[in-house]
Structure 1
Amino acid sequence: MEGSIALAAPPRPPGIWRQGWFRFRRNRGGMLGLVLVGLVVLVALTCFLVAPYDPNDQSAMLRGASRQGPSWAHLLGTDRNGYDVLSRVLYGAPTALAVGLGAMLIASILGTIIGGIAGYVGGMVDEVLMRCAEFFLVIPVFIVILAVVRLFGIMVVGTALERVPHLNLMTIIALLGLFGWPPIARMARAEFLRLKQADFVEAAICIGATRRDILLRHILPNALPSLIVLVALGIGGAILAETMVSFLGFGDPKAVSWGQLLYFNYESLKVAPWGSVAPGVAIFVTVLGFNLLADGLTDAFNPRLRQ
């Protein structure tokens, strides 16, 4: 109609992810954690380029330079086996991230599926699945991992599995994932219970949306922020668990890990402390980064917890 004034459409309200990012940027601890995690990821991606030596290079031992202090040739010194400490610390970053991300990928998939089914279906299914989760929570996971890794290492001797690269490391990752799903399942159950009664889910049911669409397009995306917090926290825990397993001598001898460096050099702590301090600092920075990141995500996506 002539002379009519076109009305501008109202601005679209920011979604849950954008709102969370706005709150996360104001959290100094969370931003520090993001920077530390980004630094570890950068080291893991570029260690093959920036490491001064091959991680298995023991030429320093042949020159009688094992346990040598920091110098221009070896910035963080050498350990008792003649390895360059800086190079092995750098090459330990990919192993740490592989353990943390791999274990939590398995745990998050299992936990989300089991918790989502329990929360959405309810009834006897909910009871059975949650009792199963409680059973897994009381299992001494660390002892189980040590026993399984040792027994599995003995069973594969003389078989084709013995030639599989990093078999022990993959076993540790799988065990950490298989025993790490209960906390994620409990959180997923709580979120699915809450969201299945939300107005937008009832509206989707009224317009004839299928159960698959309701779960994957309406409930799961809104439950992910709370689950991501647990995943970020669990990555640091998985890295620590692998470090403890390797420190006790049950790790993968073919992999370069920070726990393995501690295992090789803790006896030389008094005469060559750099061999243990450097991987210890790397572990501290990595786990601290993921913990701070998880705290920042908690404040960002669950602001009511701050009140």
Structure 2
Amino acid sequence: MDAPSLDAELPPAPVAEAIPTRRLMLGAWRRPWGRFRRNRAGMIGLVLVALVVIVALLGPAVAPFDPNDSGATLRGAARAAPSALHPFGTDRVGYDVLSRTIYGARTALLVGIGATAIAAVIGITVGGIAGYFGGLVDEALMRLTEFFMVVPVFVVILAVVRLFGIVVVGTPLERIPNLNLLTIIVLLGLFEWPSVARMTRAEFLRLRQAEFVEAALCIGTARRDILLRHILPNALPPLIVLMALGIGGAILAEAMVSFLGFGDPKSVSWGQALFLNYQMLQVAPWTCLAPGCAIFVTVLGFNLLADGLTDAFNPKVRA
């Protein structure tokens, strides 16, 4: 039998490629979901958040009255105790407390999700650039982040909302619906991003040395694809936990701003309801009980959800 020729054409060697991003993502999400389902606190938080979302979506269909209907005042039923007609009673203006509590869920989610989305876009962009490039870029961006972290956010928001409300008087901006609420959302997002940026930077610093990133570099993957398709998806788990906490924090911050009288008088929010009725607490406690409980349940839900996600994404927890 003749020996094989040395000049014989050999089969092409398999091309080395990076670990498939899709497989990494599936493995990174299936096991945490199994751990999350076994976390009681996390599941309670998920149920509470889902309940608030359902109420916000079905608000117009399930609310017994229009949130701005003060017809109870004409019937002499302002500050009326809970009854069959008004299950949660009426407030000092004659509004149905249940209806305004239901509609307030929309405002709460709009504030929480809107502010957190703005913070996430800024924070992930700043932190990702700092963590991936390092050096002077990292140093400059982190000093900027530290500057925003020491700014007294609450005082700035109160001052800007009040000044902006005076400046827009007589301008076309005054006709924008819920302008004060939009201003609060933007300000919360602009001051919440530093924590997201620091977490993103830490994850990018860790992942840029990973084997699948080096493999992607070896096969000539563009830097943009490495950032968006390889590093960012694997950096999302801790960021999602931070965003869940951020939503609850933004809802609570808007409630505090509105309670101090700096909220949007044209919007229906739980903090605004507390501001309008806190003086009635001794004679008509139901006017504050429902919106206060709504704030508590919503923020608790997002905090428990974040707690469950923290345990779910913890690599030390076995599936």
User: What runs of 5+ residues in structure 2 fail to find an aligned partner?
Assistant: 1-22
**In the alignment, what sits opposite 2:298?**
286
Counterpart of 1:78 in 2: which secondary structure?
coil
The one of 66, 70, 83 aligned to 1:58? 70
Counterpart of 1:148 in 2: which secondary structure?
helix
Taking the TM superposition and a 5 Å limit, the aligned residue runs for 1:270-285 are: 270-285=282-297
Taking the TM superposition and a 5 Å limit, the aligned residue runs for 1:62-101 are: 62-101=74-113
Offset, 1:305 = 8.5
Q: TM-score, normalised by structure 1?
A: 0.95
User: What runs of 5+ residues in structure 1 fail to find an aligned partner?
Assistant: 1-10
**In the alignment, what sits opposite 2:276?**
264
Distance 1:12 1:178 in 2: 32
* 1:150 and 2:155 aligned: no
Q: How many residues align?
A: 296
Distance 1:305 1:250 in 2: 44
Offset, 1:303 = 3.9
**In the alignment, what sits opposite 2:34?**
22
8 Å CA contact 2:25, 2:233 repeated in 1: no
Divergent runs of 4+, >6 A: none
Counterpart of 2:58 in 1: which secondary structure?
helix
* 1:163 and 2:175 aligned: yes
* 1:241 and 2:253 aligned: yes
The one of 40, 45, 49 aligned to 1:33? 45
Can you list the C-alpha shifts for 1:191-212, whole angstroms capped at 9, x where unaligned? 0000000000001111111101
Distance 2:270 2:26 in 1: 42
8 Å CA contact 2:180, 2:263 repeated in 1: yes
Offset, 1:158 = 0.5
**In the alignment, what sits opposite 2:215?**
203
Distance 1:71 1:120 in 2: 61
Offset, 1:302 = 2.1
The one of 120, 124, 132 aligned to 1:120? 132
Can you list the C-alpha shifts for 1:113-132, whole angstroms capped at 9, x where unaligned? 00000000000110110111
Taking the TM superposition and a 5 Å limit, the aligned residue runs for 1:129-144 are: 129-144=141-156
Can you list the C-alpha shifts for 1:175-201, whole angstroms capped at 9, x where unaligned? 000000000000000000000000000
Distance 1:119 1:305 in 2: 27
Question: What percent of counterpart residues are identical?
Answer: 73
Distance 2:284 2:316 in 1: 49
Offset, 1:20 = 1.1
Aligned AA (1:55) = P
Give the structure with higher Rg (CA): 2
